Structure 1
């Protein structure tokens, strides 16, 4: 994923978890209580912040941990490759 800004190295792997759980963007947005547009921006890494309440709702809906959908990659390393 390409970060929204080069100022951070947090990469979003939400798409991989969604694929593993066989859940659509629309279904997940409904379960989490956010708009499709906001979830899409989060999924593509085009956000600069995520509320803990949103992260909690995502983890509950996907039965995962925050580290399953977010990862830190140092500036001199390549983006993570998910299974």
Structure 2
């Protein structure tokens, strides 16, 4: 199960985009990251995120990393 390791990180990109009335395509244009890569992140399939990417997303959405990413314990999953 190494390739499909479960993680306890949740991404709230959908909510943030909806709250700001922004589409994934608009975010992609603002941050210079492909829609495909943002979609992978949005759907929880990303295995990592660069700090530079996180910074760009936070700048574009006017949010903090904790607004975008949360952690929950494996016990509550």
After TM superposition, the score normalised by the length of structure 2 is 0.91
Deviation at 1:56, TM superposition (A): 0.1
Q: Which has the larger radius of gyration?
A: 2
Extract unaligned runs of 5+ from structure 2. none
Over 3 Å counting, the alpha-carbon distance change for 1:5 and 1:52 in structure 2 is same
After TM superposition, the runs of 4+ consecutive aligned structure 1 residues lying more than 3 A away are none
1:5 aligned partner: 5
2:28 aligned partner: 29
1:58 aligned partner: 57
Q: Which has the higher helix share?
A: 2
After TM superposition, the score normalised by the length of structure 1 is 0.85
